[in-house]
Structure 1
């Protein structure tokens, strides 16, 4: 093989590796969960896609907590007008005929099914509702601020705060690493809770409880030293 051909081969391999690395975090895992009692539901409460469905390393159970951008198929038995496919909005809610907005974030499919059924009882007798999670798009976290690779990353397994910082390629030189803040949706998707953490406390002191396990939708913010405001006198 001459030198020109060898160089072309090296460039081609490098490009393939680069594309594979760039796409590592591009797609969120997709699977389907079902809650309710509609005919055809599996006894385990979980439905998977067809033969060619993308496999995920995530272990999804009926305890799955729904989040923003998840796609839900809601079926009201023998009532096509009330059945629809919806995407959870950024505010954590979905909109349904008759009953309007319902909070979905922070709930399991079974919990959401129970509320929708209860609210539909004002309009019909003994409604039978089932919910299928068609797409899981909310198993993602956001690492923002003074990290070397800020962005949105999917959670493919249990991930701690320190692991998330590592995924984002660590702190920049001006990071206030002891002033980390994690913003997390509150109960039933209402509001945002603020969780503070110190890198030095976690690593050097007895602060391992600050190395929290992250949840879908968590926003990790690492401010710069110049953003840290001194308390007013």
Structure 2
């Protein structure tokens, strides 16, 4: 009798195991909803870098990249680099001097030159990339040398772009050397205070400035 009971119990256990296996095989897989992220998806949205527009009186320089838009003329529009000699090359009109002009003045000049080929040309010039203006960093910074001067660049931003200060930097007694009208001006800058309280000096850098970190 005991042997028969054991045989029946073993049969019931095998049948239960088989049913569970069939249920697991037919169970639908989880599907991620559109727009959701799975646990293994480590991708991140791309960062967007926004540049401040150049001031109205900005003078174009060599190596700058200009965005030229001629209304209803896509073949004449696009980004154009300023050559080291200060010239740009434009279809139909050839080489045109750009260095030393404001974007508005250059746009007016191009529109005047294009009148021979286009009725009432409308030209817009923007500075896509500033490469002609630089500032310099010396002393206890991670990367000594020059960096491009973007419009409105502050000492804090410039130091950050150079990799920051070294552990040996005197954070209270930085200074900026600026040449104006043949004279050199020394402008003190307290990095530690600016970092803590904000840059209350309202100081922005000019072309050729040198930040010295003792």
TM-score (norm 2): 0.43
Decide which structure has the larger Cα Rg and report it.
2
TM-score (norm 1): 0.41
